Each structure stands twice: as structure tokens, then as C-alpha cells.
Amino acid sequence: MTHDHLLSPITAAELTAPNRVWMAPLTRSRATMPGNIPNALMAEYYAQRADPRTGAGIIIAEATPVSPQGHGYYATPGIHTDAQEAGWKQVTDAVHARGGKIVLQLWHVGRVSHHALQPDNQPPVSPTDATSQSKTYIDDTYERHPNTPPRKLDPAELPAIAEDFANAASRAIRAGFDGVEIHGANTYLLDQFTRDGMNKMDPPWGGSTENRLRFPLLVAHSVVDAVGAGRVGYRISPLSEHHDAIDSDPKSTFTALAAVLGKLGLAYLHAVETWDRSKIDPRLKTVIPAIADAFKSAGGHAYVANGDYTPDQAEQAIASGWADAVAFGKLWISNPDLTERIRRDGPYNEWNSDTFYGGGARGYTDYPTIDQPALR
Ligand SMILES: Cc1cc2nc3c(=O)[nH]c(=O)nc-3n(C[C@H](O)[C@H](O)[C@H](O)COP(=O)(O)O)c2cc1C
């Protein structure tokens, strides 16, 4: 099959890309510890995926905590210290030297954390005091530990957290990123506020849809004020029930969010549609078009789809008008030249999930390109 739509250029406000094969944010836990500092190995990994012909149209770099309190996994890089900013600069320089584009995903995990990863061993914070049923790794053994109980946030703390996102966005632009993506997906802090199954705050920060969206939108406004809407994206996962998160009416909740983000003039809205297309939620067919339409008709630029897409399904999604670009995750882990492979209609390297998180070059920078003999 040819993939002409997927391989065509796209402009979304201030973000321009040579193709619509974007790289989804992927936590790989290879930052230098202590300090959660991006390093030369990370620069090499991203640069391998940055060539305008063989690489990603836009690389969305891994989820990156905006503050010490935003951390929930060991060895994830941050963007709240000068050393982290300098570490990211070497990454963006390496990507730009190859002609690529890279945006940074801004993250606060909320309750999906462990006190061992928090400043002074404090409990993680959340709009609920219910403990996340997820597990995390807290040191270089990468053994999984249950999340520990959160402390419910005091409303007086919220402006400072929004400010952390704005400061992190400014740092990201200073570090050379072409833009930022606000992580509103996968049941981390902003999603914890958004969903009625998790937000237990009193009005005006909890309750009605409008109230639950107040904090995520405060963050979005703060980031837009800091760096300008034309280089800001926002990620959601409206149908995911990941980490025991539910919303009783995802269509109306996320359509309302998308409409305000569109009005702000964001460059793109990015949705994790599913993690497994063989078990697709039947609501997807109506929920996603409603959200994408709400975003774009209000003034937002591009809808970026993600979630277990094959290149053929992605081509179809763009040709049919479902999406403007498709972000691939696992395929980029194992195929540094994914776009060239799509141009040649494959073949594709398989990914090794044992090396997703932590470790060094193995399973990170050693996947071969199509013309390279297998090195592994
Ligand atoms: C190893 C790994 C790390 C991930 N890290 C992130 C992350 O940092 N931020 C995020 O929003 N999603 C993250 N995800 C989810 C992916 O971005 C993507 O939504 C998911 O893998 C489904 O897309 P795919 O089938 O194309 O891989 C991660 C997924 C994997 C497998």
C-alpha cells in the first residue's frame, strides 16, 4: 500500500512538519541520576529519529515532570532545574542538527507516584485522597511498587502548580524545543481533575464539568501565556480506564475541554484512542470525531491520533479525514527510520518490551535502520 497522505507535509499553527508520521511521547527512564538530567545517550536516541526524510514529522519527547512533586517514576528527565534545561539543550541541538523538530511533553503525575520519589518523602498530591491502583519503579532495580496514598490538594496550592507548568514551558523553549505538549492524558494530574471518577474537590475546582476543567484550563492558559498558543499541544485519553480512572460521560467532558482548547488556538490536540485496536471501545467511533470537531471548529489546528495504529490504518485515518497526523509509539522505539520504512512499505523491526524502561543503549539506540545489517 502507498502512504501518500501520511508522508505529506503538515502545518499546525507554528509547528510545521515534513510528514504526518509523528513520534508519540515515550518514557524510557534513561536520564542521569541523581538529578533526572537528560544526557548524551538521550540526544543520540532522539537524533536517530529526527531526519526529515526517514524520521518523525514531529518528535514528542517523553513525559517530563515540571516540578519535583511532578515525578512518579525513577530516572525520568525533568525540566525544573538549570542542569535539566542544559541537558535538554544538547538533545534539541542534536535533533535540529539533523533537521528535525521536537516538542516536550510537560507532566505532573499527581497521585500516580510513590513517596520515595517525592520531595522529603511527602505523599504525592491529587484532587482525591484515594490511592492509585498503579505500580511504579523507584530505583534502578526497576521493580514495581504499588503507588502510595496521596494527599488531597488544598485549592490554595493550585496556582503554584499551574505556574510550574508555565515555568517549565518557558524553560523548554529556552532549551530549544519547537513547542510543548501538555500531558492531560493517562490519568495523571490534569486527567485526575478532568474525570468525575477521580476529582473529589469541592466547587469551584470539582463537581460540574466546567468546574473539573477549571484547573486543566488554568494550566493551559498559563502555558499559552508563557510561550504562545501556536506551539502548544494537549494530550488526552478520553476512553482509557488506565490506572483505574473513569469518567461517566467522556464524550461531553472531553468535547467541552476540546472546545476551550480550540478557542485558545492550540496547535494540536492529541488523543490516545486505544492501546489495543483488537479490543476497541465501541464509543470511539462517535467520541473521537466529536472531540476533534469541537477542537477544530473552535479554532484549534490539527487533530493527532494515536493508539496501536499500523501504517496502513494511519494512512486510512488521514485519507478519510479522521486525523491530520498519527503519532506512533512502540513502532518508533524499534524503528529509528520508521518513515523510510513506511515509504518502502516495511518491513518493521519488532520492539523488545524488556528494554522499554531503564538501562543503557541496548534496546534504545541499537535498533537497525532498514539498510543496516541487524546489530542486535
Ligand atoms: C514504553 C512506553 C512509554 C510511554 N510513555 C509515555 C509518556 O511518557 N507519555 C504519554 O503520554 N504516553 C506514553 N506512552 C503511551 C504512548 O505514547 C502511546 O499512547 C501508546 O504506546 C499507544 O501507541 P502505540 O500503539 O503506537 O505504541 C508510553 C508507552 C510505552 C509503550
- Give tens-digit pLDDT for 247-305: 999 999 999 999 999 999 999 999 999 999 999 999 999 999 999 999 999 999 999 99
Say if residue 156's pLDDT is above 80. yes
> 276 C-alpha to center of ligand 1: Å?
12
Say if residue 373's pLDDT is above 90. no
Q: What is the pLDDT of residue 376?
A: 46
DSSP string of 97-111? HTT--EEEEEE--TT
User: Can you tell me the distance from the alpha carbon of 340 to that of 311, in angstroms, rounded to the nearest whole number?
Assistant: 12
For this structure, is 46 an active site residue?
no
Residue 191 CB–ligand 1 contact under 6 Å: no
Q: Is 343 helix (H, G, I), strand (E, B) or coil?
A: helix
Q: Taking a C-beta distance cutoff of 8 angstroms, is the pair 30, 248 a contact? A: no
| Cis amide leading into 204 (omega within 30) | yes
- Give tens-digit pLDDT for 347-356: 999 999 999 9
Question: Would you state the cell numbers that stand for residue 4, as one nine-digit string?
Answer: 501518500
Helix, strand, coil percentages in the chain from 3-state DSSP, rounded to 5: 35, 15, 50
Residue nearest to atom 15 of ligand 1 (CA): 26
Q: Taking a C-beta distance cutoff of 8 angstroms, is the pair 326, 23 a contact? A: no
Average pLDDT over residues 330-348: 98
- Say how many C-beta atoms besides its own lie within 10 A of residue 62's C-beta: 23
Residue 3 CB–ligand 1 contact under 6 Å: no
Say if residue 214's pLDDT is above 50. yes
According to DSSP, residue 321 is labeled T
* Ligand 1 atom at shortest distance from the alpha carbon of 356: 1
pTM above 0.85, yes or no: yes
Cβ within 8 Å of residue 226, ≥6 positions away:
166, 167, 169, 170
Q: What is the pLDDT of residue 240?
A: 86
Q: Taking a C-beta distance cutoff of 8 angstroms, is the pair 105, 61 a contact? A: yes
User: Can you tell me the distance from the alpha carbon of 339 to that of 332, in angstroms, rounded to the nearest whole number?
Assistant: 9
Q: Which of 45, 46, 137, 188 is catalytic?
A: 188
Band the pLDDT of 363: cuts 50, 70, 90.
Answer: very high
Average pLDDT over residues 138-147: 98
CA distances from 225 to 35, 158, 166, 316 (A): 28, 17, 8, 36
State the angle between helix axes of 82-97 and 40-48 in degrees (0 to 180), rounded to the nearest 10: 30
Say if residue 243's pLDDT is above 70. no
Average pLDDT over residues 183-197: 97
Residue 272 CB–ligand 1 contact under 6 Å: yes
Q: What is the pLDDT of residue 210?
A: 98
Q: What is the pLDDT of residue 372?
A: 85
> 330 C-alpha to center of ligand 1: Å?
7
State the angle between helix axes of 82-97 and 158-174 in degrees (0 to 180), rounded to the nearest 10: 40
Residue nearest to atom 6 of ligand 1 (CA): 26
All domains of the chain in start order, with CATH: 10-355 (3.20.20.70)
Q: Is 86 helix (H, G, I), strand (E, B) or coil?
A: helix
Residue 338 CB–ligand 1 contact under 6 Å: no
User: Can you tell me the distance from the alpha carbon of 348 to that of 328, in angstroms, rounded to the nearest whole number?
Assistant: 13
Residue nearest to atom 1 of ligand 1 (CA): 356
Beta strand 179-183 with 102-107 is parallel
> 26 C-alpha to center of ligand 1: Å?
5
Does residue 266 come out as left (phi exceeding 0), alpha (psi in the -120 to 50 range) or beta? Answer: beta
Say if residue 204's pLDDT is above 50. yes
